[in-house]
Amino acid sequence: MLYLDFDYSEDELGCGAFEAMASTRPEQVPAVRQEVKQVLDWAHTAFPGMRAPLDDGGEWDFYLHGQQEWTATEEIHYDAQSRELHVQLGPQGLPRHTLTLSLTGSAQFCDAFRQRFLPD
């Protein structure tokens, strides 16, 4: 994985959550989406028919969210005499694409996920 770097947390019952966020330029979006597809293809193949909220008896579940933001630089100057900040907005830049993937799962799912995507 080049873009998805997963953080892990676990509750007192042994259920775990893997969360990753990638914020990229437009030309990197296809590679990020391919990594997400790879993870979800694996989960559906390794644990077929077991996706459902853990509270409802599922083995694993996921949440996927995407967002685009456009940014612009700001030139900020401080006027010591008036003690004021003066801000000039620059041109709009390229969009930034942010994708968030959260996976939750049982201890068995989390162990299998670690073996597949987080080798030592």
Q: Where are the domains of the chain?
A: 7-117
pTM for the full predicted model? 0.82
- Sign of the torsion angle spanned by Cα atoms 61, 112, 47, 22: positive
In which band, very low, low, confident or very high, does the pLDDT at 107 lie, cut at 50, 70 and 90? very high
Q: In what order do the strands lie in the sheet with 60-79?
A: 7-10, 16-24, 84-105, 60-79
pLDDT of res. 93: 87
Task: Work out the angle at residue 37's Cα, subtended by the Cα atoms of residues 63 and 35, and round it to the nearest 5 degrees.
Answer: 100
Predicted confidence (pLDDT) per residue in 1-15, tens digit? 899 999 999 988 889
Alpha-carbon span 77 to 79, nearest angstrom: 6
